[in-house]
Amino acid sequence: MTRYYFAPMEGITQYPLRNIHNEMFGSTIAKYYTPFITATHNFHFKKREKRDALFENSPSFAEQKERVVAQIMAGRADTFLWAKDEMKKLGYKEVNLNLGCPAPTVVNRHKGAGLLLDTEYLDGMLSEIFEKTKEAEDDIDISLKCRLGFYDEEEAIDLMKIFAKLPLSELVIHARVREDYYRGEPRIDAFKNAVRIYRESGGTAPICYNGNIFSKDDLGFIEELKEYADSFMLGRGIIENPALSRELSGGQELTNAELKEYLKRLYFAYSDFIPEDRNLIFKMLEHWAFLTKRFENNEKELKAIRKSRSEGEYFAAVNSLFSADGRP
């Protein structure tokens, strides 16, 4: 069976979503990634990010901690190693270094995709991370999530040679460069080429492909990539359609009843840490922004959801959208 992963998405794939998604659709997801948790220069986590990483908030994973990967944003080996140890104490079996975030505030601090710019520094940082982890006899898995480069896909050649030297547990490649942000078609040929170079350079870690998997129409392209990739990471596509991995695995299509239930449970799970209706609705609107395609004939009802300011207004608007759409 094809292995699908749930991508990390800051502000979206926090513990309420991971937990509820796992309970409703988790049987076709091999791993969930937390959004990045920042390892600050003074060895500190933001309270909100730490809360997200705690397994006590994700009871559906209590017996399956290996299915959640803690993603770390760090620009130095020492802060990464500290964060890795903290995540290990919380019960994580795998941590993942973010080498892909394109946001200027991140890149300017030489983190995320910013690390792809200076390959000499990155090489040194990664070598230190793996050497120290080995010295400490720490068996935690360390994986990377990268892009093909910062400006140009040709940068992948040097990057893959660096990654091939390391005992990575997995290499996730988002088939874009930083300058693409999330736009346009993924660079499939450059992805294949990068994997070829990684293998020719002696890299043995499983490869995960990431980029623009949205529906069953992409199954042909997934098949084609299986020669290169061992697993497939779903990002925006699985926010648009929480049953995407089930559909890709040959299962039933998402029903409106399921989607309605999923969104309702998310709403009440967010109320754990967002007490005010208004702010909670803003949070839900981040999800609704991904759902407009499914409801493209219901602009009036979507607008009412966007304009709602209280729990009552919100649920009345959601109910009228599902009634107007009419699908079961």
The answer to whether residue 21 forms part of the interface with ligand FMN (CB under 6 A) is: no
Size of interface with ligand FMN, in residues (CB under 6 A): 22
Q: Report the residue from 145, 187, 246, 287 that binds ligand FMN according to the rule CB under 6 A.
A: 145
Q: What type of residue is 201? A: S
Query: Is the distance from CB of 238 to CB of 6 less than 8 angstroms?
Result: yes
Exposure class string for 294-325: b at 16+ Cβ within 10 A, else e = ebeebeebbebbeebeeeeebeebbeebbeee
Q: Report the residue from 149, 203, 211, 242 that binds ligand FMN according to the rule CB under 6 A.
A: 211
Collect all residues with Cβ–Cβ distance below 8 Å to 222 and sequence separation of at least 6: 2, 213, 232, 248
Site string for ligand FMN, 60-99 (x = CB under 6 A): -----------x--------------------------x-
Q: Report the residue from 51, 236, 260, 294 that binds ligand FMN according to the rule CB under 6 A.
A: 236
Q: Report the residue from 5, 36, 82, 92 that binds ligand FMN according to the rule CB under 6 A.
A: 36
Q: Rounded CA gap, 71 and 192, in Å?
A: 25
Q: Which 188-207 residues touch ligand FMN, going by CB under 6 A?
A: none
* Residue with the two structure tokens 């870690």: 205
Q: Report the residue from 8, 26, 75, 114 that binds ligand FMN according to the rule CB under 6 A.
A: 8
Q: Minimum distance from CB of 201 to ligand FMN (Å)?
A: 23
Q: Which 97-116 residues touch ligand FMN, going by CB under 6 A?
A: 98, 100-101
Other C-beta atoms within 10 Å of 169: how many?
A: 17
Q: Rounded CA gap, 67 and 32, in Å?
A: 6
Site string for ligand FMN, 252-291 (x = CB under 6 A): ----------------------------------------
Q: Minimum distance from CB of 232 to ligand FMN (Å)?
A: 9
Exposure class string for 180-219: b at 16+ Cβ within 10 A, else e = beeeeebbbebbbbbbebbeeeebebebbbbbbbeeeebe
Q: Report the residue from 4, 7, 70, 143 that binds ligand FMN according to the rule CB under 6 A.
A: 7
Enumerate binding residues for ligand FMN (CB under 6 A): 7-10, 12, 35-36, 71, 98, 100-101, 145, 174, 182, 210-213, 234-237
